[in-house]
Chain A
Amino acid sequence: MSITLSEAESRRVVAGHGVPVSPFVTGTSTDEVIAAVATDDTVAYPVVAKLCGRAIAHKTERGLVRLRLGDEDALRQACDDLLAAARPDDGDVEVLVSTMVDGNRELIAGLNDDPQFGLTIMVGVGGILAEAIRDVTFRLVPISEVDAAEMIDDLGTQRLLDEFRGEPAVDRAALIEALVALAAVGEQEAGVRSIDLNPLIIVEGKPVAVDALVELDEAAAEVSR
């Protein structure tokens, strides 16, 4: 059996290994969230607020994501609404607030425990369109920087990595660093079964994960709590 960590827990795990995630804070009450945003100098309006918890699998479908909150009042209202929407079977929940980041290009990256080869790392094109596009490439964990560079070279949609709609080319060094950091999560954290960074948005050329889900073996999940 395995357990999927909440988005907030997942972000902390991957960010702890240097995977770039959009700036975020969390809180379990509206006041706590507002105070956290006020004292954190990385999170800036407009923000996105999400209700997250281990038992909440489909935030978007349940309307538990609020986008483009422009000021503290809007955030306060969103926190009240989200916390009120929690159901008893959601278990422990918290509100995650992160800086809204924008970019025209979305990648996907992840880890997966392959039945033949063990832990593999993936990078691909597409965010929500990833499964339709299927421009993905895999390697076995661990990877070197050379391996990561070759993964990026393997993608079929190279033009998407060059200058694009007025945005600079993807900073390959930053993407390599992100992939090596992601692989390190699999190497150094016990019991990782899968990780999804989806989407990984390209912001000023650099990849930033705006969602993260980490799936752990049940035993490892207990330790991480």
Chain B
Amino acid sequence: MSHDLGALFDPKGVIITGVSNHPGKFGFVTLHNLIASGYQGEIFPVGREPGEVLGRSVLGSIDEVPDGAADMVFICTPQAVNEELLRAAAARGVRAAFFAAAGYREAGPEGVEAERRLVALADELGVALAGPNGQGVVSTPSQMCAQIVAPYAPAGRIAVASQSGNFVSSFLNLAHHTGVGVSRAVAAGNAAALGIADYVEWFADDPETDVCLVYMESVDDGREMFERLRAVAERKPVVVVKGGASDAGARAAASHTGALASDDAVFDGMCRQAGLIRARDVEEGFEAAATLATQPLPQGNRVVVVTTVGGWGVAAVDAMADTRLTAVALPDDLYAAIDEKLPPRWSKNNPIDMAGGETRDTVPEILELAAAHPDVDGVLFLGLGIQSNTASMLREGGFYPDHGLERIVGFHERQDARYAEAAAEIAARTGTPVLIATELANARPDNAGPAAVRAAGRMCHASAGRAIRSLDLMARYANWRRARGL
């Protein structure tokens, strides 16, 4: 059964415990982050010392919160007082509690007992219990950054659930960097009551979320998790990054099968069976999620690579060797149509190397021809930003804007922006993903090319290999769905 986590992710009001004037304390930082992110609900700081913090009056007790004005409590206080605080919060109408507080299971046998009591109490009070020992919860639809650390992130369609707070930060940082934002993010902490599967099930019903992104290390009830995540994967893509994936070791097993059953091999098989999109590391996981959130799903494995010049296309095809993707031989009609648009020196092959022969409209036209072709399931465009890179040197070289530089710089930058916009528009219209890769995404993110990709709400991959990997993971998920009639 899916828990109702509406009060956790979209609370109408938040109580924060442990608030003081010390800017190093978790209560202070959480209050700061909540205000700074623009949270519009009511905020009720509660602390031992009366007065004001960050311009908000601090209540001496949760009992002073008006009845029903807050439905979430964020707990930053020491373990010993928290059961009492949870009772008081529930009495004011709180339905969800995020426990950043530590001192539970991670703290030894007494903590284990305290955690057991906490779970029982939350059950009795009917409060959804997140944490303890967790970093916090982020929800962009509610402009809410309820976290004991940074960062907040731009709004988007990716929901994150992580067994590690650090990795929530990693994903949010990557959201900043790429501009592809998140809807929700939660650190499960000790996951005393709510675990990864509970959050992901809620995301499956969440209209603000298109893709779930999970970081996990341990699996308690593997069989149950498998069933629950598979049910979610049938509805929305679930990208999984697994920590501790190296073979932990020697399982004493009499059989060959047992000897070959490393934890990771079994986990990997489970993911494939459940339709979970398993990524090798944090970057790959985020990029797969970002691509899924912003591109249509490919219908198959056939890819066309379009390059303006040079050897990047070769690297892209090389990257496909490790995947299920294939650089499809150009169908005759597509070949003929492209041949009409390009001078004779084009590559006559996939990758389509335009060999610098493009005129003003060629890039959008070739992308359109490739993406619209029924035998093409995905397009990768390489070479975005070259013109703007030239333009930036012309801008900065000491001769701008004279000698005709202003006009050509403007032209180059408009062209790159146009290519990025065309790629987004063509993908949306044809239903074929059109990915873009250039190292300028990292090297010069202000370049008009990557900047326009970002403005279109899309992921600009930093290399062809990384774009291919994202496309491969998408295609695998699409194949999993298709094989099951989904």
Residues from chain A with Cβ under 8 Å of B315 in the complex: none
Given the known interface contacts A136-B260, A215-B255, the answer about A118 and B223 at a Cβ–Cβ threshold of 8 Å is yes
Assuming A110-B255, A194-B254, is B260 touching A154 (CB within 8 A)? Answer: no
Kindly state whether residue A7 has any CB partner on chain B within 8 Å: no
* A117 CB contacts on chain B under 8 angstroms: 219, 222-223, 226, 266, 270
Q: Closest chain B residue to A108 by CB distance?
A: B256
Chain B residue contacts of A120, Cβ below 8 A: 261, 266, 269
CB distance from A129 to the nearest CB of B (A): 11
Q: Which candidate, A47-55, A144-152, A171-179, is the interface stretch facing chain B?
A: A144-152
Counting chain A CB atoms within 10 Å of each CB, the highest count among B257, B258, B268, B483 belongs to B257
In the assembled complex, the CB of B282 is this many whole angstroms from the nearest CB of chain A, namely: 23
Cα A117 to Cα B270 in complex, Å, equals 8
Task: Considering the complex, give the chain A residue whose CB is closest to the CB of B479.
Answer: A150
Cβ distance A2 to chain B, nearest Cβ, rounded Å: 8
Does B253 reach chain A (CB closer than 8 Å)?
yes
How far is B222's CA from A194's CA once the two chains are assembled, in angstroms?
18
Does A122 make an interface contact (CB < 8 A)? Answer: yes
- Known interface pairs A118-B223, A136-B265, A137-B265; A112-B257 also in contact (CB < 8 Å): yes
Residue of B nearest to A127 (CB): B256
Given contacts A150-B480, A215-B254, 20 further A-B contacts (CB under 8 A): A4-B254, A108-B260, A112-B257, A112-B258, A114-B222, A116-B219, A116-B222, A116-B267, A117-B270, A118-B223, A124-B260, A131-B259, A136-B260, A139-B269, A140-B226, A146-B484, A147-B273, A194-B253, A194-B255, A195-B255
Nearest chain B CB to A185 CB, angstrom units: 13
A138 is an interface residue with CB less than 8 A from chain B = yes
A130 to B265, CA, bound (A): 14
Q: Which residues of A contact B269 (CB under 8 A)?
A: 120, 137-140, 151, 154
Whole-angstrom distance between the Cβ of A9 and the nearest chain B Cβ? 16
- Tell me whether A134 is interfacial, beta carbon within 8 Å: yes
Query: With the chains together, A140 CA to B266 CA distance in Å?
Result: 8
**Chain A to chain B: the 6 pairs with minimum beta-carbon distance, closest first:** A110-B257, A138-B269, A116-B222, A117-B222, A194-B255, A112-B257
- A143 adjacent to chain B (CB < 8 Å): yes
- In the complex formed, the residue of A with least CB distance to B476 is A150
Kindly list chain B residues whose C-beta atoms are within 8 Å of the C-beta of A130. 256, 260
Judged by DSSP, the binding face of A is strand
B263 sits at the interface (CB 8 A) = yes
B362 shortest CB reach to chain A, Å: 38
**B positions within 8 Å CB-CB of A:** 219, 222-223, 226, 251, 253-261, 263, 265-270, 272-273, 480, 483-484
Minimal Cβ-Cβ distance residue in A for B255: A194
Closest to B265 in A: A138
Contact A114:B261 (CB < 8 A) given known A139-B272, A139-B273, A150-B272: yes
Complex: how many Å from CA A208 to CA B65? 73
B residues less than 8 Å from A198 (CB atoms): 256
In the docked arrangement, what's the CA distance between A44 and B480, Å?
43
Q: Please, could you name 5 A-B residue pairs with CB atoms under 8 Å apart, sorted by A? A: A118-B222, A134-B260, A137-B272, A138-B268, A138-B269
Return chain A residues, CB-CB under 8 Å to B484: 146
A149 cross-chain contacts in B, Cβ below 8 A: 483
How far apart sit A109 and B260, CA to CA, in the bound complex (Å)?
11
A94 contacts chain B at the CB level, 8 A cutoff:
no
What does the 1/0 interface line of A187-198 toward B look like (CB < 8 Å)? Answer: 000000011101
Residues of B within 8 A of A114 (CB): 222, 261, 266
B273 with A194: CB separation less than 8 A: no
- On whether A110 and B256 interact (CB within 8 A), knowing A116-B219, A140-B223, A154-B272, the answer reads yes
A213 interfacial by beta-carbon distance below 8 Å:
yes
User: Once the chains are docked, how many angstroms separate the CA of A143 from the CA of B253?
Assistant: 23
Taking the nearest CB of chain B, how far is it from the CB of A209, in angstroms? 13
Q: How far is the CA of A198 from the CA of B480 in the complex (A)?
A: 29
Assembled-state Cα–Cα distance A62/B264 (Å): 35
How far is A194 from B263 in the complex, measured between Cα atoms in Å?
Answer: 16
- Give B91 Cβ to nearest chain A Cβ, in Å: 40
Hey, which chain B residues are within 8 Å of A150, CB to CB?
A: 272-273, 480, 483
Distance to closest chain B CB from A6 (angstroms): 15
Q: How far is the CA of A122 from the CA of B258 in the complex (A)?
A: 9
Q: How far is the CA of A112 from the CA of B258 in the complex (A)?
A: 6
A180 contacts partner chain B, Cβ-Cβ < 8 Å: no
Complex-state Cα separation, A198 to B263, whole angstroms: 21
Q: Which residue of B lies closest to A150 (CB)?
A: B272
A64 contacts chain B at the CB level, 8 A cutoff: no
What is the chain B residue whose CB lies nearest that of A144?
B484
Out of A4, A112, A147, A195, name the residue touching B261 (CB < 8 Å): A112
